[in-house]
C-alpha cells in the first residue's frame, strides 16, 4: 500500500512538472506572438507613412524576437528530452513548435517592410505618393486580426476558432488580389509611380504571407485538438465539418 501511494505521488510529481514545462513553452510562444503583432502593426505604419523612426524601431526590437525564438526552441527540446510526450500532448508540443516557425517568419516579414520603409526615407515621397500605400494600411487590419485570433486559438486550444481563421484566410487573399489591381492603375496613370508601386506591392505581399502563416498556425491547432492533419485539406470542407 505504501509503495502504491509512493508511485502515485511520483506520477503526480512528473505530471505536474510536465504541465509546468508545457505551460512555460506555451507562454513563450504567446509572448513572442504578441510582440510580433506589435511589430507587424508598427512596420505597416512605417511603410504607409514613410516613418524612418518606426522602421528603425522594428529592426531594433527584432533582437528581442530572436531571443524569444531561441528560448522557445530550448523549451521545446527540453520537453522532448525530459518528458517524451505522446498522443495529444505530443500533438500540442508539435503545434507550438510549428507556431514558433510561423511566428519567426512573420517577424521576418515585418523587418522586410521596415527595411523598405527605411530605404524610402531618402526619397521623401509626397503626400500624393503616400496615397499609393493606402492598400498596405487597409490589408494590415485583417492580416493582424487573423494573427491575433490564431494566437487565441493556441491559448484556448479552440478548434472552432481555428477553423474560422483558416476559412477567413481566403478573404485576405481576395483583398490582396484587389490591392494588386488598384496598384496597377497608378502605373497606368503615371509611369513615374513605379518605385512607390513596387514598394507598396512588397508591403501587401508581406501582409498576404503573414495571413498565410496565421492560417498555418490555425490549421496546426486543429491537428492538435482533433488529431487530423488538415494542412492540405480544402478550406470549405473544414467549415462544413
Task: Provide block-wise average pLDDT over 10 residues at a time, the chain (241 residues).
Answer: 50 72 95 97 93 94 96 94 89 96 97 93 75 92 97 96 92 93 91 91 96 96 88 61 54
Confidence (pLDDT) at 125: 74
Confidence (pLDDT) at 1: 41
How far is the C-alpha of 51 from the C-alpha of 39, rounded, in Å?
14
Cα–Cα distances (Å) from 142 to 39, 57, 154, 170, in that order, read 15, 23, 18, 11
Architecture per CATH, 2-240: Up-down Bundle (1.20)
Q: How many CB atoms lie within 10 A of CB 4?
A: 8
Confidence (pLDDT) at 104: 97
Domain spans, the chain: 2-240
Confidence (pLDDT) at 238: 56
Contact 76, 145 (CB under 8 A): no
Contact 191, 133 (CB under 8 A): no
Q: Computed from CA positions of residues 120, 126, 129, 131, in that sequence, does the dihedral angle turn out positive or negative?
A: positive
Confidence (pLDDT) at 18: 87
Transcribe 193-206 into DSSP letters: GHHHHHHHHHHHHH
Amino acid at each position: 500500500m505504501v509503495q502504491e501511494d509512493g508511485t502515485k505521488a511520483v506520477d503526480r510529481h512528473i505530471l505536474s512538472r510536465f504541465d509546468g514545462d508545457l505551460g512555460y513553452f506555451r507562454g513563450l510562444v504567446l509572448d513572442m506572438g504578441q510582440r510580433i503583432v506589435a511589430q507587424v502593426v508598427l512596420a505597416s505604419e512605417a511603410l504607409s507613412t514613410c516613418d524612418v523612426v518606426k522602421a528603425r524601431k522594428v529592426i531594433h526590437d527584432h533582437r528581442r524576437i530572436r531571443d524569444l525564438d531561441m528560448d522557445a526552441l530550448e523549451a521545446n527540446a527540453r520537453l522532448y528530452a525530459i518528458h517524451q510526450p505522446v498522443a495529444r500532448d505530443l500533438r500540442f508540443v508539435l503545434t507550438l513548435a510549428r507556431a514558433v516557425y510561423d511566428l519567426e517568419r512573420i517577424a521576418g516579414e515585418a523587418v522586410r517592410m521596415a527595411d523598405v520603409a527605411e530605404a524610402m526615407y531618402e526619397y521623401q515621397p509626397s503626400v500624393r505618393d503616400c496615397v499609393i500605400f493606402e492598400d498596405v494600411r487597409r490589408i494590415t487590419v485583417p492580416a493582424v486580426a487573423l494573427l491575433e485570433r490564431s494566437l487565441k486559438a493556441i491559448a484556448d486550444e479552440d478548434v472552432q476558432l481555428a477553423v474560422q481563421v483558416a476559412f477567413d484566410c481566403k478573404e485576405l487573399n481576395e483583398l490582396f488580389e484587389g490591392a494588386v489591381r488598384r496598384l496597377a492603375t497608378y502605373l497606368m496613370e503615371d509611369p513615374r509611380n513605379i518605385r512607390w508601386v513596387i514598394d507598396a506591392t512588397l508591403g501587401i505581399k508581406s501582409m498576404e504571407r503573414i495571413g498565410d502563416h496565421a492560417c498555418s498556425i490555425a490549421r496546426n491547432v486543429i491537428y492538435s485538438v482533433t488529431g487530423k492533419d488538415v494542412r492540405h485539406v480544402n478550406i470549405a470542407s473544414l467549415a462544413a465539418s
